[in-house]
Amino acid sequence: MIRSMEEFTSAFHAARCVSTPLVAVLTADPASTTHFIINTLKEGRKLPPLLGWDVVRGLYAIGRDSGEELARVLGERQAASIGPVDALLLAQQLGEASCSTRTLTASGMTPE
């Protein structure tokens, strides 16, 4: 289990380097973790489209520049109606540079 932000950054960069298609992060602070991932991805590069999923909102855009990617992936569907299985299936349609996150909390609450 990763305990420090340095370990998290290293593991995240390693996953990106080998084109890992999905990274799940268990966190007690999803907002802070999402912010950290955004800053890690920026590091002198243009931020790719970022999409997130949680049980309350369904699929959602992270940041202003991700709305077009969200609309493209959703098509006619409503974002809130997207469950975890649908989100994973839709993730296959993401552009090559895109990233998606799935929020889990440390309280043991997981998506249905």
- pLDDT (0 to 100) of residue 97: 58
Q: Which domain holds residue 65?
A: 5-105
Looking at the domain assignment, is residue 82 inside a domain? yes
Looking at the domain assignment, is residue 44 inside a domain? yes
Looking at the domain assignment, is residue 111 inside a domain? no
Burial 27-44 (b: 16+ CB within 10 A, else e): eeebeebbebbeeebeee
Over 50: is that where the pLDDT of 111 sits? no
Contact present, 49 and 68 (Cβ < 8 Å): yes
Looking at the domain assignment, is residue 85 inside a domain? yes
- pLDDT (0 to 100) of residue 79: 92
DSSP-assigned letters across all residues of 37-50: HHHHHHTTSPPPPE
Residue-wise pLDDT for 89-103, tens only, equals 887 777 665 555 554
How many domains does the chain fold into? 1
Looking at the domain assignment, is residue 110 inside a domain? no
Looking at the domain assignment, is residue 25 inside a domain? yes
3-state helix, strand, coil in the chain (%, to 5): 45, 20, 40
